[in-house]
Structures are given as structure tokens and as C-alpha cells.
Amino acid sequence: MSLATTLLHKKAAPWWLSGPALVLFTVLLLVPLALTAVLSFNAFDPATGVKAGEFTLEHYTHVFTDSYYHTIFWRTFWIAGLVTLICVLIGAPEAYILSRMGNPWRSILLLVVLAPLLVSVVVRAFGWSMLLGPEGLVNGALQLIGIGPVKMLYTEIAVVIALVHVMLPFMVIPVWTSLQKLDPGVENAALSLQATPFTTLRRIVLPQVLPGILSGSLIVFGLAASSFAIPGLLGGRRLKMVATVVYDEYLHELNWPLGAAIALTLLVANLVVMLSYNRLVEGRYKKALG
């Protein structure tokens, strides 16, 4: 068979159709990622820049042994973990409460909770910097009840609050979706068999929305751990997270290989945390269902 007939063969059709997108994704995703992986092993000289031919593990040993980077990775992951926990504690009950409302409130309020997703994260960070500043509304309210001005802006508090605000929709959406599959008849059956509302919630509703909570947690954790604009604007110059450190290495220190090594470490660490969490919870979940 000649090349022309092979290309015109029916089997080639899906490749023709997805070809343009495949070219874009190869040139702008696969190739750059490979280049960055290579770059992270390139030697770097502050005077002359990147040495293309020389390879070293120096940047990775730097990231793994320097306590400065330990502090930053540790801070990034505990903040992401805390944000995930708070999003579960707020997002899951909120989705449940919304799903029990009648229309039109149910649709309107769901939209209010989810729509901020479409507003630029810079705008939301700026809103929180106004609310949490020394003369902001939150401190004003705290002073009314007798608590002195609390320093929140440029501390972990502001970063966590704003990240919860940004991530909450990502938790509400999967929980809401799994609640839609819940048959209200089962819940009513439990209640009519004298189960308390709490038992019904724990034994009937919770097991069924657990997959939603799990996938929401994975998204929230991944996005929070790599967030850039929120720690950049609300953490100030001193409170660095991994993404803001990478930005500094690239645009201020100009040490691209080190920046690439940090960014790829974040990508891999993120994947490891997410995959092991997935394993852990799925294993438990299977056991619980017998």
C-alpha cells in the first residue's frame, strides 16, 4: 500500500481530525516540558548564565538539602493541606444544604457560590487584601467585639482565607454532582425507620458523596500547592510559597536551571501526594463498603 492510500484510509481519519490540536500540544506542551527537564540539569554560572553542554545534579541537591527550600516546600504543603481540609468542612455541608433547598433559591445561591470561579484571581486577591488589611472591614468588625487589630495581611492567615475562597467552588462542584445521584427515597427510608438525622447523614449521605469529596480534595490540593497570585499578593515579600520562589528565581535571580528544578520538584511532589492520597482513601473506601 502506498503512503497516499494509507493516509486516505479510514483509520487515519481520527488522526487527521485531531492532528492540528496534536501539533499544538506537541510543540507547546510536550517539547517545552522536555526542554525544561533538560534545563533543570544544566550547569549555571551567575556570570555567564546557562551552560548548555554541562550537566549537573547540583540544582536538585540544592533544593533537597538547603533548609531554605525545605521551609518553603513544607509551608506550601501545609497551607495546601489546611486549605483542602477547610474546603471539605465548608464545601461539603454547603453543597448538601444547597441541594436541599427549593428553587429558585437553590439555583441562585449555587450560582453565587460558583460564579466567583470566573472572576480573575487577581481581583479576588485584591478584594481580600482590602478586607484583611489593618484598617479593613474584618479588623473593624473584630474591634467592635473587643479584639484588637489582628495582623492578617502578609501572613499565612490571609493566604489561607483567600485560597479557601478561590478553591471552594472546586469542592462544591464534585460534591454537588454526587449529591444529584443520591436517591432521596433512601434518605427518607432511613428516617422513617427511626434513624436520627445525624445517623442518616453519616450512614446514608456521607458514603455516597465521599467520591465527590475525594476528587474535590485532589483538585483543591493540587491547585492550592501551585497557586501563585494569592501568595504573591497576600503573602508579601517575606512569606514565600513554591510558585513565588520559582518566579523570583526566573525573573530576579535569573537562575533558570534552579527555577526549573524547583518547578519540576513541585510537579512531581504534587503528583506523588495526589496519587498516594487517592490510593489511601480509595483503599479505605473499598474496605468500608466490604
Site for another protein in 33-52 (CB under 8 A): 33, 35-36, 39
SS3 label, residue 42: strand
Give the nearer residue to another protein in terms of CB position, either 185 or 290.
Answer: 185
Does position 93 interact with another protein (CB under 8 A)? The reply is: yes
Distance CA 252, CA 258 (A): 12
Give the nearer residue to another protein in terms of CB position, either 130 or 284.
Answer: 130
DSSP per-residue letters across 145-176: TTPPPP--TTSHHHHHHHHHHHHHHHHHHHHH
Does position 94 interact with another protein (CB under 8 A)? The reply is: yes
Does position 167 interact with another protein (CB under 8 A)? The reply is: no
**Subset of 127-166 contacting another protein (CB under 8 A):** 127-131, 133, 137, 162, 165
- Selected from 43, 82, 85, 114, the binder of another protein by CB under 8 A is 114
- Nearest CA to 95 out of 195, 218, 206, 191 is that of 206
- Selected from 212, 216, 231, 259, the binder of another protein by CB under 8 A is 259
In sign, the C-alpha dihedral spanning 77, 80, 83, 85 is negative
Piece of the chain touching another protein by CB under 8 A; list 58-66, 207-215, 227-235, 282-290: 227-235
Helix (H) or strand (E) holding 54: strand 49-55
- Selected from 14, 53, 104, 290, the binder of another protein by CB under 8 A is 14
DSSP per-residue letters across 70-99: HHHHHHHHHHHHHHHHHHHHHHHHHHHHHH
Task: Build a one-symbol-per-residue string for 187-226: x at contacts with another protein by CB under 8 A, - elsewhere.
Answer: xx--x-----x------------------------xx-xx
CB 195 within 8 A of CB 203: yes
